[in-house]
Amino acid sequence: MESIDSKLKRVRRLANWLIYASVILGVALLVRLYVLMVPSWLFDSVLVGWILYLVVAIAVASDRDKAYTAALVLSS
């Protein structure tokens, strides 16, 4: 039987990869929005959201537990 710690580590690793993937997809979205020449307010709001998510990804990479709460808030 697998211990709770190993299950938690696996779930945490999956959450980390999902956060990193969303940062990478955010870059692709920003490039696409720039090419499409969307209104500046829309591009700026997406850029601010991406910067916040980048800060959360950095916090996750440095093993800060509160980063997962911030990621949950940003994703909803």
Each as own residue / partner, the long-range contacts of residues 51-57 (CB below 8 Å, 24 or more positions apart, any chain) are 53/19, 53/22, 53/23, 53/26, 54/23, 54/26, 56/19, 57/19, 57/20, 57/23
Residue 45 maps to a domain: yes
| Predicted confidence (pLDDT) per residue in 8-65, tens digit | 889 899 999 999 999 999 999 999 999 999 999 999 999 999 999 999 999 999 988 8
| pTM, entire model | 0.81
Q: What is the model's pLDDT at position 65?
A: 85
Q: What is the model's pLDDT at position 26?
A: 94
Total domains in the fold of the chain: 1
Residue 59 maps to a domain: yes
Q: Residue written as tokens 């949950």?
A: 72
Residue 10 maps to a domain: no
Q: What is the model's pLDDT at position 1?
A: 62
Residue 46 maps to a domain: yes
Can you give the residue range of the structural domain that contains 44? 37-76
From first CA to last CA, the distance across the chain in angstroms is 34
Q: What is the model's pLDDT at position 20?
A: 93
Q: What is the model's pLDDT at position 18?
A: 92
